[in-house]
């Protein structure tokens, strides 16, 4: 058998009557769509429903699959402790997904469980599904910090495991859209919120997974969603599959976007190999970027590629020294090296003041750290090297300033400090348009509260890339 259908479902707690206390009627379109999905699932009679949730434990370099024979949960955190759900896990499928992921060099499995209780990202869709059909096992899988293409490939591993075991399966990609649709909402409003919801619902309703994969990370982050990576895993589950897709409902009266979409397989279609298309597109773009990179970017790229491929650190030869500009070999400065894949940050580490004998060695060191030691990301792999683009920021000396009126987000980077705590933000970053944003992010990096005093420094950079 195979994947019978997939659904993108939101998880508003107030959809449960015991929680909503009548307020659920304000999202009646969503409730009706939930029940339509529930009836469709009943007609399909799946053996297993696979829930992809943003609200179970998540790791930067690991897809977590919930272990054990079964799991349960309640809505006590939302004021309804008497509403409970329990469901058996498909233990064999968990093992098969782990095995298939390992074959694709993706770290996934049942290690690292922190809370065995079902989360609301699973329980809310499950509550509606069980109204019509409850005779199924489930699998609960997490999102991760891996790049978007790895989430897609992990979805492909899930589909392969389903086929291996001859399961009849349904995929539930749990996630809300933007949490910033209304000034009156709990998270406020940004213009990117409604625009994000428009783009995502359009891409999903058209089965256009490539547009989804190409969305800008900063745009997604600013819109404050929680479902994006669930949707990408779901898309991977439907790799090379002809689809009929439908937007069953969309609304956001409380300031959070709720979309219900259905995806109905209609046979194979090798042209819908979005992993291949996506990687080919990025490889072309990266290749074009390399043709225009300067000596600073080229040195960062060569040093990281050499270390990843050989395990040996790149060293500057006498011949290199002769060919490199004097600015690289005869000057010292702090340097930030940032790596990107398709515009998405893939690593960034730097030094405020020089730690090496010249800028060239500073670049080599920080390129290696950005690729292998940025704890927000898994280490860069050989396969990723052709996809990377590089930016190098050479910092000018920082100067202390008296107040924020002396800052300019496009011209100056900022350093904030309080005792031993400090945080830095580079200038002219995408999505950072005000000094208040700049300072807020720098404070956050330093774990300095908004009401704590700070010393302010500004600096300029010479940006390469």
Quickly state the pLDDT bin for 1 (edges 50, 70, 90). low
CA distances to 192, 215, 355, 421, 446 from 415, rounded to whole Å, are 28, 30, 18, 10, 9
Average of per-residue pLDDT across 102-120: 95
- Domain ranges (residues) in the chain: 3-276, 283-464
Q: State the average pLDDT for the chain.
A: 94
Bin 105: left if φ > 0, else alpha if -120 < ψ < 50, else beta: left
The span from the CA of 249 to the CA of 286, in Å, is 38
Which segments of 110-191 does DSSP mark as H helices, in order?
120-129, 148-164
Backbone angles phi, psi at 381, to 5 degrees: -100, 165
pTM of the model: 0.84
Contacts of 166 (CB under 8 A, 6+ apart): 1
With residue 6 as reference, give the H or E element that holds it.
Answer: strand 3-9
The span from the CA of 223 to the CA of 245, in Å, is 24
Which segments of 12-147 does DSSP mark as H helices, in order?
17-20, 28-44, 91-103, 120-129
Specify the CATH class of 3-276 in words: alpha beta
- Pair of tokens at residue 307: 């270390």
Could you confirm whether domain 283-464 is CATH 3.30.700.20?
Answer: yes
pLDDT single digits (tens) 329-388: 899 999 999 999 988 899 999 999 999 999 999 999 999 999 999 988 889 999 999 999
Q: What angle do CA 249, 251, 252 make, to 5 degrees?
A: 155
DSSP 119: P
The span from the CA of 320 to the CA of 274, in Å, is 40
pLDDT at 149: 92
Strands (E), 10-121: 48-53, 63-64, 70-75, 80-88, 108-109
pLDDT single digits (tens) 35-90: 999 999 999 999 999 999 999 999 988 999 999 999 999 999 999 999 999 999 99
pLDDT over 80 (residue 322) = no
Higher pLDDT, 286 or 319: 286
Average of per-residue pLDDT across 138-150: 94
- Report how far Cα 405 is from the mean position of its chain's Cα atoms: 34
The span from the CA of 25 to the CA of 20, in Å, is 8
Name the β-bridge partners of 461: 395
Number of H helices, E strands in the chain: 15, 18
**Percentage of residues of the chain with pLDDT beyond 70:** 100
The span from the CA of 183 to the CA of 189, in Å, is 5
pLDDT single digits (tens) 95-107: 999 999 999 999 9
The span from the CA of 121 to the CA of 93, in Å, is 20
* 3-class secondary-structure state, position 435: helix
pLDDT at 217: 87
Helices 274-290 and 148-164, axial angle in degrees (round to 10): 150
pLDDT single digits (tens) 380-431: 999 999 999 999 999 999 999 998 899 999 999 999 999 999 989 999 988 7
């Amino acid at each position: 058998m195979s994947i019978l259908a997939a659904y993108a479902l939101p998880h508003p707690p107030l959809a449960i009557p015991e929680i909503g206390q009548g307020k659920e009627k304000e999202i009646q379109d969503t409730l009706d769509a939930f029940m339509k999905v529930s009836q469709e699932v009943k007609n399909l009679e799946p053996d297993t429903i696979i829930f992809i949730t943003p609200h179970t434990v998540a790791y930067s370099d690991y897809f977590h699959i919930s272990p054990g024979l079964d799991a349960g949960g309640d809505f006590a955190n939302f004021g309804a402790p008497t509403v409970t759900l329990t469901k058996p896990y498909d233990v064999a499928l968990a093992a098969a997904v782990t095995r298939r992921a390992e074959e694709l060099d993706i770290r996934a499995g049942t290690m690292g469980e922190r809370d065995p209780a079902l989360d609301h990202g699973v329980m809310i869709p499950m509550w509606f599904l069980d109204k019509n059909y409850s005779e199924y096992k489930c699998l609960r899988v997490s999102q991760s910090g891996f790049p978007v293409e790895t989430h897609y490939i992990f979805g492909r591993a899930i589909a392969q495991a389903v086929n291996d075991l001859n399961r009849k399966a349904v995929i539930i990609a749990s996630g809300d859209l933007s949490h910033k649709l209304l000034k009156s909402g709990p998270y406020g409003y940004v213009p990117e919120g409604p625009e994000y919801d428009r783009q995502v619902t359009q891409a999903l309703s058209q089965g256009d997974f490539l547009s989804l994969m190409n969305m800008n990370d900063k745009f997604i982050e600013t819109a404050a969603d929680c479902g994006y990576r669930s949707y990408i895993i779901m898309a991977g589950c439907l790799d090379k599959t002809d689809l009929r897709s439908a937007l069953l409902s969309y609304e956001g009266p409380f300031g959070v976007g709720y979309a219900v979409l259905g995806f109905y397989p209609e046979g194979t279609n090798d042209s819908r190999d979005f992993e291949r298309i996506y990687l080919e597109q990025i490889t072309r773009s990266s290749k074009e970027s390399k043709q225009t990179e300067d000596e600073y970017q080229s040195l960062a790229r060569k040093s990281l590629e050499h270390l990843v491929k050989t395990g040996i650190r790149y060293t500057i030869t006498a011949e290199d020294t002769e060919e490199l500009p004097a600015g690289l070999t005869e000057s010292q400065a702090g340097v930030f090296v940032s790596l990107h894949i398709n515009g998405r940050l893939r690593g960034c580490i730097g030094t405020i003041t020089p730690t090496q004998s010249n800028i060239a060695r500073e670049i080599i060191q920080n390129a290696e750290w950005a690729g292998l030691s940025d704890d927000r990301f898994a280490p860069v792999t050989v396969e990723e090297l052709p996809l990377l683009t590089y930016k190098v920021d050479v910092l000018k000396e920082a100067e202390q300033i008296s107040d924020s009126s002396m800052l300019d987000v496009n011209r100056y980077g900022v350093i904030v400090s309080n005792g031993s705590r400090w945080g830095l933000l580079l200038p002219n970053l995408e999505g950072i348009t005000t000094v208040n944003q700049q300072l807020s992010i720098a404070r956050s990096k330093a774990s300095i509260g908004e009401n704590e005093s700070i010393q302010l420094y500004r600096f300029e950079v010479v940006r390469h890339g």
